[in-house]
Amino acid sequence: MAVERPEYRLSDAERQDALDALSEHVRTGRLDLTEFDERSQQVSAAKFRRDLAPLFSDLPEPKPAVLVPGRALVPRQPVARPWQQRLAASAVPIAALLAVVLFFTVARGMIFVFLLPAIVAMVAGSCASHRHRRP
């Protein structure tokens, strides 16, 4: 297994990619927990790309991106559309305005309507965190 630029030092993201690949091999039954523990310690101690090659020489795909020629580990950036960003940014102020209007009209003195902006903020935050986690 030829490693592109074996003299390059490993980044934290590349080590994490290698640990993720090892975890997949445990999940599929190719490695037992003892082997996984030994190899993950070696991955954590690895300094150069060439240090990873022997750890994956007897395993099929998935392999860390640094061991596959031509494949680079590119961090994924969440893609949000402009209208979604504007909607998310304005959701809490709109909910606060709605709560004030409800307080003085329909709800007439019911203070619980002011929970509406807090609920909208939690829902918007939850949706945003799910959107950022998707690959």
| C-alpha 24: how far from chain center | 16
pTM of the model: 0.51
User: Which of the residues in the chain have pLDDT under 50?
Assistant: 1, 132-135
What pLDDT is stored for residue 58 in this prediction?
93
Q: Which residues touch 58 (CB under 8 Å, ≥6 apart)?
A: none
Determine the Cα–Cα distance for residues 7 and 24; give it in Å rounded to an integer: 26
Give, in degrees to the nearest 5, the angle at Cα 18 between 12 and 20: 100
Residue 46 is classified by DSSP as -
Ordered by start, the domain boundaries in the chain are 12-67, 82-130
Please report how many Cα atoms fall inside a 13 Å half-sphere around the Cα of residue 106, on the Cβ side.
7
